[in-house]
Amino acid sequence: MSAANPVEQESTELDDQPLVEPLSAPIEGAPHKYLIAFAVVLAALMQVIDSSIVNVALPDMMGNLGASLDEIAWVSTGYILASVIIIPLTGWLGEFFGRKRYFVGSIILFTIASFLCGASHSLGALVFWRIIQGLGGGALMTVSQAVLFESFPRREAGTAMALFGLGVMVGPTIGPTLGGWLTDNYGWPWIFYVNLPVGVLAAAMIIGYVHDPEYQRRPPSVDYMGIALLAVSVGSLQYLLEQGQRADWFDSRLMILLALTGIATGAGLVWRELTIDFPVIDFRVLKHRQMWVGTLLGVVMGVGLFASVFTLPVFLQGNLRMTAQQTGIVLVPGALATAVSMAVVGRVTNKFDPRVLITIGALLFAGAMFKLSRITGESGSSDFFWALIMRGAGLGMMFVPLTTITLAELSPRELGQGSGLYNFFRQLGGSLGIAAIATLLSHYTAQFRAILAEHISIGDPTTMGRLDMLTRALVARGADPWTARERALELLDRQLMGQASVIAYSRIYVLSAVLILALIPLLVLVRHTRGAAGVQHVME
């Protein structure tokens, strides 16, 4: 190997353990790195919380705005569609407008749209401003990740991703609790007004402490065709995943058309972006092995993670009749466990093989899912404590090292595009997981209800005893015998459905565990990593 290529010379000499430092991380880090971390995590947390805070207020919005369930769903769907389309564009938009200017502008746009959402007096206005809010919010998480990765020194890349993960993972737990409290005490507009002081503070701190990178260059042209293909393909597929179950999936011509449109325009997007000089989405970053392997693992983790995060609050509120605030209290220990786990893992990522940390995290997460699969309709809040502690610790051990190794090989110029693609595919995996889980829950509930119903008949002594007991209880409360009997049958059917639902959730948690365990074999695709001199290294 010639001396003219010192990187290859080093890689050859260290044949067993060649070292390549995270290229996008600076050697010493920014002088105000922790103030930068606070500002960008605040921005990311605001976006993540807003994705979940709205759901608990939808019933109040329906009554206040006179909207149906399908109509009010656009308050969530519109936001998600807009943000998911923007996420893969954030790298290019940061180069085109200047990353600091684009970041601050996105926060301001998100904050102003939040105020106008709260001030809306019609469904149309609310949906419109939610879409605008999504256009601003799509940048917050992705740009925050890139800024953090560049603000911390190479030896502290794990710490940077741990701080970022606090917002991403803890946010969905805070959202429903905060949303329920604000809605109950002040009304639904306050779930939007709460963003105002946070957005102003985050924007002010970013203006003061974040600077554009020296390598930043404005693209000489705009790929309008690429932007159009992205909007159509991602919009079609995301809408399919959001609304497919309500339309019985491919029994609907619209869903079939959306699927075909999404696939065709998606293929066209990839082809175009790989064949032009200045693409809006640089798929070439996936040539790095760590990038495409980490993205694949992120999709799998997104499916399993979003599935469990989505189903548990629904179970607590739907089956156990907990309020949004009570649900939030149950989820808090798991969020705290995630925070502690990320803080610890962020410190030790550069000392241990990240594959080992991800494996331990996957095992903890799977163990938590198996514990949750044993819940019943009589479970109390204490029955979820240790399962959620295990799940929270497992999430922290997976998220930090996975994000770090995914971005480790990217150069500074590639970081924005790589972060955008990684978050986009993880979000898409989450949407796929939620859509699949919602469909499976409906299917399993109907299946188990039919199985349980086979053991209930009017001639069965146990069934008759239960029916008589319910009838007498209703008569004692003042109902006439005929009405009491009818209500008793309804209660029996409701109990049957409730038990079928519990069994369906149990099956879902087992599937989530199996899916997360599927991460472990995929880790063989990750290059050997180890810590040395306080720096994470990735084998060439």
- 42-63: pLDDT as tens digits: 888 888 787 777 777 777 787 7
Q: Which of 163-177, 237-251, 428-442 has the lowest mean pLDDT?
A: 163-177
Count the neighbouring beta carbons within 10 Å of the beta carbon of residue 280.
25
Whether pLDDT at 16 is above 60: no
d(CA 176, CA 54): 8
Tokens describing residue 59: 């019933």
- Kindly state whether residue 429 falls inside one of the protein's structural domains: yes
Whether pLDDT at 165 is above 60: yes
- Kindly state whether residue 47 falls inside one of the protein's structural domains: yes
Q: What is the pLDDT of residue 17?
A: 38
Tokens describing residue 18: 């060649």
Whether pLDDT at 534 is above 80: no
Each residue's pLDDT tens digit, 215-229: 667 777 788 888 888
Return the SS3 of 536: strand
d(CA 408, CA 160): 13
Determine if residue 533 is left, alpha or beta; phi over 0 gives left, psi from -120 to 50 gives alpha, anything else beta: left
Q: Are residues 342 and 381 in the same domain?
A: yes
**Mean pLDDT value across residues 279-289:** 84
| DSSP structure class, residue 24 | T
**Mean pLDDT value across residues 200-210:** 89
Q: Are residues 336 and 446 in the same domain?
A: yes
Each residue's pLDDT tens digit, 394-403: 888 888 788 7
**Mean pLDDT value across residues 240-252:** 77
Q: Are residues 99 and 207 in the same domain?
A: yes
pLDDT band at 468 (very low <50, low <70, confident <90, very high): low
pLDDT band at 531 (very low <50, low <70, confident <90, very high): very low
d(CA 434, CA 432): 6
d(CA 298, CA 63): 39
Q: What is the pLDDT of residue 110?
A: 93
Q: Are residues 197 and 162 in the same domain?
A: yes
Average pLDDT of the chain to the nearest whole number: 77
Whether pLDDT at 113 is above 90: yes
pLDDT band at 413 (very low <50, low <70, confident <90, very high): confident
d(CA 18, CA 533): 14
* Amino acid in the structure at residue 208: G
Is 277 exposed, middle or buried (CB count within 10 Å of its CB: 0-12, 13-18, 19+)? exposed
Q: What is the pLDDT of residue 249?
A: 78
pLDDT band at 455 (very low <50, low <70, confident <90, very high): low
Q: Are residues 199 and 327 in the same domain?
A: no
Q: Which of 113-122, 127-136, 370-379, 454-463 has the lowest mean pLDDT?
A: 454-463
Whether pLDDT at 170 is above 60: yes
- Kindly state whether residue 15 falls inside one of the protein's structural domains: no
CB neighbour list of residue 504: distance below 8 Å, 6 or more residues apart: 440, 441, 444, 445, 447, 448
Residue 284: CA atoms inside 13 Å, Cβ hemisphere, count?
13
Q: Are residues 230 and 206 in the same domain?
A: no
d(CA 115, CA 193): 6
R_g (Cα) of the chain, nearest Å: 25
Whether pLDDT at 294 is above 50: yes
CB neighbour list of residue 64: distance below 8 Å, 6 or more residues apart: 188
**Mean pLDDT value across residues 413-421:** 79
Q: Are residues 296 and 343 in the same domain?
A: yes
Whether pLDDT at 7 is above 50: no
**Mean pLDDT value across residues 350-371:** 87
Q: What is the pLDDT of residue 5?
A: 43
- Kindly state whether residue 432 falls inside one of the protein's structural domains: yes
Phi, psi dihedrals of residue 409, rounded to the nearest 5°: -90, -5
CB neighbour list of residue 7: distance below 8 Å, 6 or more residues apart: 20
Q: Are residues 214 and 250 in the same domain?
A: no
Q: Are residues 195 and 297 in the same domain?
A: no
Higher pLDDT, 64 or 198: 198
Q: What is the pLDDT of residue 162?
A: 72
Dihedral in degrees, nearest 10, Cα atoms 251, 253, 256, 258? -130
Q: What is the pLDDT of residue 459?
A: 60
Which structural domain, as residue segments, surrounds residue 527? 284-540
Number of domain units in the chain: 3
pLDDT band at 242 (very low <50, low <70, confident <90, very high): confident
Give the helix/strand (H/E) hosting 156. Answer: none
Cα dist. 47→146, 192, 199, 202 in Å?
A: 16, 11, 10, 12
- Kindly state whether residue 26 falls inside one of the protein's structural domains: no
Tokens describing residue 413: 């110029």
Look up the CATH number of the domain holding residue 200.
1.20.1250.20
What percentage of the chain's residues is helix, strand, coil (to nearest 5)? 80, 0, 20
- Kindly state whether residue 21 falls inside one of the protein's structural domains: no
Last residue of a domain, which of 205, 220, 235?
Answer: 220
Q: What is the pLDDT of residue 383?
A: 83
- Kindly state whether residue 7 falls inside one of the protein's structural domains: no
Is 169 exposed, middle or buried (CB count within 10 Å of its CB: 0-12, 13-18, 19+)? buried
Q: What is the pLDDT of residue 79?
A: 84
Last residue of a domain, which of 193, 220, 247?
Answer: 220
| DSSP structure class, residue 528 | P
Whether pLDDT at 199 is above 80: yes
Q: Are residues 178 and 273 in the same domain?
A: no
Tokens describing residue 42: 């605040």
Tokens describing residue 449: 């209800």
Whether pLDDT at 94 is above 50: yes
pLDDT band at 28 (very low <50, low <70, confident <90, very high): low
Dihedral in degrees, nearest 10, Cα atoms 165, 169, 173, 179? 70
Whether pLDDT at 288 is above 80: yes
Count the neighbouring beta carbons within 10 Å of the beta carbon of residue 248.
10
Count the neighbouring beta carbons within 10 Å of the beta carbon of residue 151.
25
Phi, psi dihedrals of residue 18, rounded to the nearest 5°: -65, 150
Q: What is the pLDDT of residue 334?
A: 82
Q: What is the pLDDT of residue 112?
A: 94
Q: Do you know the residue count of the chain? A: 540
Q: What is the pLDDT of residue 128?
A: 92
Give the closest residue to 319 by CA, choosing from 389, 375, 386.
375
Q: Are residues 256 and 329 in the same domain?
A: no
Q: At what angle do helices 224-243 and 253-275 cross, to 10 degrees?
A: 150
Beta carbons of 169 and 161 less than 8 angstroms apart? no
- Kindly state whether residue 482 falls inside one of the protein's structural domains: yes
Count the neighbouring beta carbons within 10 Å of the beta carbon of residue 270.
15
Whether pLDDT at 532 is above 50: no
For residue 537, list its beta bridge partners. Answer: 530
Last residue of a domain, which of 232, 263, 279?
Answer: 279
Q: Which of 115-119, 127-131, 436-440, 450-454 has the lowest mean pLDDT?
A: 450-454
Each residue's pLDDT tens digit, 427-443: 777 777 777 777 888 88
Q: Are residues 487 and 371 in the same domain?
A: yes
Q: How far is CA 76 from the centre of its chain?
A: 14
